[in-house]
Amino acid sequence: MTLAVRITLCCASALVLVASGMAWGAYHYLTGGLNTSDALDAVRGRAPAHLDNSVNLLLIGLDSRKDMDGNDLPKQFVEDELHAGSSDIGGYNTNTLILMHIPANGGKVTAFSVPRDDYVQVLDGDGTPGGMHKMKEAYGLAKAAAEDRLAAQGVKGADLEHQSREVGREATLATVQQFLGVPIDHFAEVNLLGFYDITKVLQPIQVCLRQPVHDRYSGADFPAGYQELNPRQALAFVRQRHGLTGGDLDRTHRQQAFLSSVTHKLKVHGIFGDLSKLQGLLDVVKQDLVIDSSWNVLDFAQQAPNLTGGNVEFHTLPIAGFAQRGGESVNLVDPEQIRSIVGRMIGQDPATTGARQNPPASGAQGGASLVVDVRNGSGVSGAAATESKALTALGYTAGEVTNAPEHATTTVVYGAGAQDAARQIAPAVGVAAPLASAAVPAGHVVVTLGAGFNPQDADESESDDVPPPPAASPASFGRAAASDAPDPVPTTAFQGQTVKMGGIPCVD
């Protein structure tokens, strides 16, 4: 998440250079000394084709307590300032993965956070399957294997660290690219130290919490409401997962909100428009950031002005549930559904649409021959009737509309012959994957609305229950935060609320 801050800084400074007529010399000042990587070269040949000149940028946050050469960060600094245990903890897990889709002709930037514990098929850089693991482990597994191989060849010291990290990047890029089903054009990587350094330059950073928190693991100890954080507190804010209802998934929303807060401060304080103010930040960027070697910052800045204008929406990709695999807790996911959601949001898969965009196909799998029963376990009055009406308008036959015992989550269950329609309906009601059941009659889909479900045409504005700060207003959440034009995928299809950049959003 701090990666996007650095990218925003690079873009903003490049725009200043263009406007001031100092592009050539200042461009070399900007890019000189940056750490670059050729890892993308290993995966480009297997990338899905682009439909336009848009840019997909992957931000990688590495949970490593080591410097660029593989040396442990000072013990006292890791324990006291980072509140991150010892240098042996964390390894090389990619605890933050955000894909930012930047349209070719401007407009809203759509960002997707990939939960770190998603249980997926990881790949090596050459596309070789590496087995089922957590998404975050692709980097470290590939790095460790490469490190053993390179050490046997006599590579050692900083060279061993640099070369094995490059293999870890290749594996992460290949895994994410396959999982999301879209090409990755550029990437940037930073570790915990980088986050700390950028926050140290910009402190204090204002954030907002809906409720007070106290977590001894991350060191997060904050009251509800708006508050300003120093670097140590900021790291605790974005790392907390214990004590949060959604655990890691709520932590993802914290990261998105923090990025919005940082970008808001940069803009309000005029840092975007003053090259001299950017100099200290750029020096930090050069120390901590790794970007792909093909990235032309000036070209990118001209294509991505909305990164600095707050026109960015963050979505957390959905999971299908939780499970134990190999003695570890993982997120179960439906890769096909994920690729469909991402493709529809960015226009990469125009042939695939959700239940709310096009009427279902006629025949045994959909249309008037398919019956949708809607049960209301959400606690929201009238939700089932509203949802049934919306589905009927798309060509489905309305079935039973009833109340149900309170459900924690929304579910979609289908009988024989209704699988395709169930897969169309599921993302529209926020379900990653429907379930088959012999208890459901053939040709029927049963939608049971869970706690907190809001029907599509309900008034979904929310109150943050805390007064706004004098100099900033919180960003909106959910469908109320979207642009006037409806998205091809309802926000209920994602994990939790949408976070919009451009203010100080309040989060749990």
How many domains is the chain partitioned into structurally? Answer: 2
Q: Let me know whether 291 and 418 are in one domain.
A: no
Q: Report the candidate in 120, 127, 172 with the shortest Cα–Cα distance to residue 338.
A: 120
Q: Let me know whether 299 and 384 are in one domain.
A: no
Angle at CA of residue 348, ends 184 and 367, nearest 5°: 145
End position of a domain, from candidates 346, 380, 395 = 346
Query: CA-CA distances (angstroms) from residue 241 to 248, 317, 505?
Result: 5, 17, 18
What DSSP element (H or E) covers 215? Answer: strand 213-215
Q: Is 468 helix (H, G, I), strand (E, B) or coil?
A: coil
Which CATH number characterizes residue 418's domain? 3.30.70.2390
d(CA 312, CA 499): 9
Q: Let me know whether 327 and 374 are in one domain.
A: no
Q: Tokens in use for 68?
A: 């660029």
Radius of gyration (C-alpha) of the chain in whole angstroms: 23
d(CA 189, CA 183): 17
**Is the Cβ–Cβ distance between 24 and 291 less than 8 Å?**
no
- Which residues face 500 on adjacent strands? 313
Classify residue 409: in a domain, yes or no. Answer: yes
Amino acid 260: pLDDT: 83
Q: Let me know whether 241 and 92 are in one domain.
A: yes
Domain that holds residue 385: 367-449
Classify residue 475: in a domain, yes or no. Answer: no
pLDDT average per 10 residues of sequence, the chain (508 residues): 53 44 50 83 84 87 81 72 58 89 82 93 89 95 95 96 96 95 91 77 87 86 91 85 77 84 76 60 73 75 57 89 89 90 77 40 46 89 86 81 84 87 80 80 90 54 34 28 50 79 82
Classify residue 456: in a domain, yes or no. Answer: no
Classify residue 193: in a domain, yes or no. Answer: yes
d(CA 282, CA 269): 16
End position of a domain, from candidates 399, 418, 449 = 449
Amino acid 508: pLDDT: 83
Amino acid 299: pLDDT: 60
Q: Let me know whether 105 and 247 are in one domain.
A: yes
Q: Let me know whether 261 and 371 are in one domain.
A: no
Amino acid 307: pLDDT: 63
**Is the Cβ–Cβ distance between 325 and 120 less than 8 Å?**
no
Q: How many CB atoms lie under 10 A from the CB of residue 24?
A: 9
Angle at CA of residue 266, ends 263 and 271, nearest 5°: 145
Tens digits of residue pLDDT in 282-336:
676 677 788 898 887 656 655 555 565 667 889 999 998 889 888 889 999 998 8
Q: Let me know whether 328 and 371 are in one domain.
A: no
Residue type, 106: G
Classify residue 440: in a domain, yes or no. Answer: yes
Amino acid 336: pLDDT: 87
Classify residue 468: in a domain, yes or no. Answer: no
**Is the Cβ–Cβ distance between 114 and 172 less than 8 Å?**
no
Q: Let me know whether 326 and 431 are in one domain.
A: no
Q: Let me know whether 288 and 437 are in one domain.
A: no
Which CATH number characterizes residue 306's domain? 3.40.630.190
d(CA 489, CA 494): 9
Q: How many CB atoms lie under 10 A from the CB of residue 361?
A: 14
**Is the Cβ–Cβ distance between 210 and 506 less than 8 Å?**
yes
Classify residue 318: in a domain, yes or no. Answer: yes
Amino acid 6: pLDDT: 54
Sheet strand arrangement including 109-113: 35-37, 290-292, 186-191, 55-63, 93-102, 109-113, 312-316, 499-500
Classify residue 482: in a domain, yes or no. Answer: no
Backbone angles phi, psi at 87, to 5 degrees: -70, -10
Q: Let me know whether 342 and 374 are in one domain.
A: no
What DSSP element (H or E) covers 30? Answer: helix 23-31
Amino acid 34: pLDDT: 78
Q: How many CB atoms lie under 10 A from the CB of residue 372?
A: 27
Tens digits of residue pLDDT in 441-498:
888 999 999 887 766 433 333 333 333 333 322 222 222 233 334 466 777 778 877 8
End position of a domain, from candidates 411, 427, 449 = 449
* Model pTM score: 0.68
